[in-house]
Amino acid sequence: MAVDLLLGLQWGDEGKGKIVDVLTSSYDIIARFQGGPNAGHTLEFEGNKHVLHTIPSGIFHPKAINLIGNGVVIDPIIFIKEIEGLKPYNIDFNEKLLISKKAHLILPTHRLLDAASEASKGKAKIGSTLKGIGPTYMDKTGRNGIRVGDILASSWEEKYKRLSIKHLNLLKSYNISIDYDLNDLESEFFSSIEKLKKFKLVDSEQYLIDAQKEGNKILAEGAQGSLLDVDFGTYPFVTSSTTTAAGACTGLGIAPNKINEVFGIFKAYATRVGSGPFPTELFDNIGKTMAKVGNEFGSTTGRARRCGWIDLIALKYCININGVTQLMMMKGDVLSGFNKIKVCTAYQTEKGIIDYFPYGISNNEVTPIFDELPGWKEDLTDMTNLEEFPVNFNNYISYLEKALNTPIKIVSVGPDRKQTIFR
């Protein structure tokens, strides 16, 4: 059985959690393949709002198995708090949640290094979530990391101590004052480790190989958006993992020829959290209105998201590098009320107009060229089928679909599960 992928096509916060939740009833296994607690997948249903950071977004469905893959980095403290926050829902985690032994652990000293590194950059900071993600992936690629499977060995605390000492020595080199009590941090960390040991820790790649042979349907869930990919994103203002389709192969042990559908999720406009280039960013009342109506605040950091018009150059780029087969457009309702809707169709550079995503997209390197479409006034949030949509909204969808040469199969008109319309 082939594996389907679900990816964000912008700078994150596209609504991946909601769509995974909507699609889960069609799958047997939901598998996270990269990122860590820097992700914030928001789900809303039955009047309740849930934000998941490490746990896959299929956890609320009664039958689906949820797998945290080897490409994910796990903070045991945050993970256990997330588990405890879900206690009212009586979820049987022993049956529904599996954790890869090859997933790497975020240590307290990783978070300290993250904070020191970001503080040392001054105005050049990249907008880190300060969750220790970057330093953990650095230790992973530097072959110094500690994996979930290591905590089952009797000597694992010795390994922890060696790495912790290395981090503390490195911390001194930043010459940055950070207030912390390592004993308190370690006390909570080791307590969480003991709780982590009680979960099902598995050889995840073999589990998925067997699951495919048995005909199980698998959905691989990405975390951050494609434009935050460490290779193909707006470097250095990116995350530390592979957020594109290739990340599902390395983050789960899925062979490329086993990938079937690639679902690409995007907002009807564009947002970004933290620093980094954003060609279509709005600094006027339109941008402020988008932020207010769309409740554009990071679900992990609480930081206000920067807002702007949709960028088709960036979207086409992400569709191509991921091999997207179907699109899902989120937050169409946020654009209600604007007289004109702008769409970036090309970039003006000093060497002329280009229609591809270049090496650099900072303000002094590209200027967006816009097409303009008529807006709509109607409130979309209570609409339940395509026939109810305003003509101009349907025209906007059709315009995007033609420009992107990829079918838009789902349109979301609100945060709730039921505000999801299939085309």
DSSP 161: H
Residue identified by tokens 């403290």 is 77
Q: How many C-beta atoms lie closer than 10 Å to residue 239's C-beta?
A: 26
Residue among 4, 13, 139, 311 flagged as catalytic: 13
How many Cβ atoms sit within 10 Å of the Cβ of residue 198? 9
Strand ranges across the sheet with 29-32: 200-202, 97-100, 65-68, 29-32, 218-221, 3-8, 259-267, 326-330, 408-412, 420-422
Three-state SS for 405-421 is CCCEEEEECCCECCCEE
d(CA 112, CA 169): 12
Residue whose C-alpha is closest to residue 30's, from 17, 48, 11, 40: 17
73-74 and 310-311 strand pairing: unpaired
Q: How many Cβ atoms from other residues are within 10 Å of residue 286's Cβ?
A: 17
Q: Taking a C-beta distance cutoff of 8 angstroms, is the pair 348, 363 a contact? A: no
Contact in structure between 222 and 254 (CB atoms under 8 Å): no
User: Tokens representing 372?
Assistant: 């303009």
> In sequence order, what are the beta bridge partners of 259?
3
Length of the chain: 423
Active site residue 13: yes
Nearest in space to 279 (alpha carbons), one of 331, 227, 242, 232:
227
Annotated catalytic residue, options 41, 53, 104, 110: 41
Match 């009342």 to its residue by tokens. Answer: 285
Closest CA to 408 of 9, 120, 2, 128: 9
Q: Which two tokens stand for residue 345?
A: 């169709």
Largest CA-CA distance found in the chain, in angstroms, rounded: 66
Residue carrying the six token digits 């490195």: 170
The residues annotated with a catalytic role in the active site are: 13, 41
